[in-house]
Structure 1
Amino acid sequence: MEPINLYPIGIIHTPHADVKNMPIQPVAAEGVRGWIELFPEYAEGLKDLEGFSHITLLYRFHKIEGYKLTVIPFMDTQERGIFSCKAPKRPNAIGLSTVKLVGIEGNRVHIEQVDMLDGTPLIDIKPFYPRYDNRIEGVKIGWLEKNKDLPLEALRSDERFK
């Protein structure tokens, strides 16, 4: 199969310079703000985005080297397959976060609930629409079932994922 070439459309800026104590999911980053520096040639694509309260970001885990097909997730002590968890050491090291859209100024997009490192390359922005993006009933969550009530404070980074 042919390789897929992806190019950044911007850079995500956050207060997180290191993975230590960084939130692992946006829900654990309430009140934590950052901004996207969209490259000027893509700024026109922001038209009409300001009417949305949330956006989904696709980005590259740019500090991750290599991958592991099995890891011990931060919420567990047992080794699990990489595709059954959200650990960043993935074959393609692509991250996904739905964040709050705070505002747009030119090619700068202000966001909240940032759970990525400063300088993260942005691959794409999509508007969040709950009717399509979050309307699933009868969801099973596999091995995570035992941790479904874990307090948000526990969602901090783990040195194993550097």
Structure 2
Amino acid sequence: MNEINLKPIGIVHSPFREPSGVPKDSTDGMDYTGTVEIFPEYKDGLKDLEGFSHIILIFYFHKSEYSHLTVKPFLDSYLRGVFATRSPHRPNFLGLSVVKLIRIDNNILHIRGIDMIEGTPVLDIKPYIPEFESNEGIKIGWLEGKI
């Protein structure tokens, strides 16, 4: 299979400078705000986004230095397959967060619920649509009873 080359569409500006101390997920980060600076060539892609209260950010864990196929998640003491966790130490270092969109100023998205560090490259943005994201009969595997 061919390699995939991705180009960031923007960059995160965050109160967090290093991975330590960053909230484990965007719900833990609701007390923290930050911005996403969209690069000028992608600004037109923001049209109509301001009507959504929440957005999905797909980003690159640029400070992750290693990946493992098994990891010990923060909610457990057992090794789990990385694809059954939200660990940043993944084969392709991709992350996903649902954040609250406060407002858009030109090419700057003001967000709440930040769980990324300063300088995180943003690869894509999608509107969060509960009717599309929610399914009946969801099972959460090893996390059952832990959250």
Q: How high is the TM-score relative to the length of structure 1?
A: 0.88
Tell me, in whole angstroms, the C-alpha distance in 2 between the residues paired with 1:115 and 1:21.
Answer: 10
Within 5 Å, give how 1:33-44 maps onto structure 2: 33-44=33-44
The answer to whether residue 3 in structure 2 is matched with residue 11 in structure 1 is no
Question: Could you list the runs of 4 or more consecutive aligned residues of structure 1 that deviate by over 4 angstroms after TM superposition?
Answer: none
Distance 1:97 1:125 in 2: 10
Matches within 5 A, 1:48-59: 48-59=48-59
Residue aligned with 1:114, SS: coil
Superposed CA offset, 1:67-126 (max 9, x none): 100011111111111011110100000000010001111111111100011110000000
Q: What letter is aligned with 2:10?
A: G
Cross-structure match for 1:143 = 142
What is the alpha-carbon distance in structure 2 between the residues aligned to residue 115 and residue 67 of structure 1? 19
User: Could you tell me which residue of structure 1 aligns to residue 125 of structure 2?
Assistant: 125
CA offset at residue 66 of structure 1? Answer: 2.3
C-alpha distance in 2 between matches for 1:18 and 1:121 = 14
C-alpha contact (below 8 Å) 2:9/2:124 kept by paired residues: yes
SS in 2 for 1:146: coil
Residues 11, 119 of structure 2: 8 Å contact kept:
yes
Q: Which residue of 2 aligns with 1:105?
A: 105
TM-score normalised to the size of structure 2? 0.97
Q: Contact 2:19–2:63 at 8 Å: present in 1 too?
A: no
Which residue number in structure 1 is paired with residue 46 of structure 2? 46
Deviation (angstroms), 1:21: 2.1
| Aligned counterparts, 1:28-107, within 5 A | 28-107=28-107
Match of 1:155 in 2: none
Q: Percent identity?
A: 50
Offset, 1:137: 1.1
Partners of 1:62 and 1:12 lie apart in 2 by 11
Q: Deviation of residue 19 (structure 1)?
A: 1.9
> Once the 2 structures are TM-superposed, how far is the Cα of residue 65 of structure 1 from its aligned partner?
1.3
Number of residue pairs matched by the alignment: 147
**5+ unaligned residues in a row in structure 2: which ranges?**
none
Deviations 1:26-70 (A, max 9, x none): 110113100011000000111111110000000000001121000
User: Which runs of no fewer than 5 residues in structure 1 stay unpaired?
Assistant: 149-162
Counterpart Cα distance in 1 of 2:131 and 2:54? 13
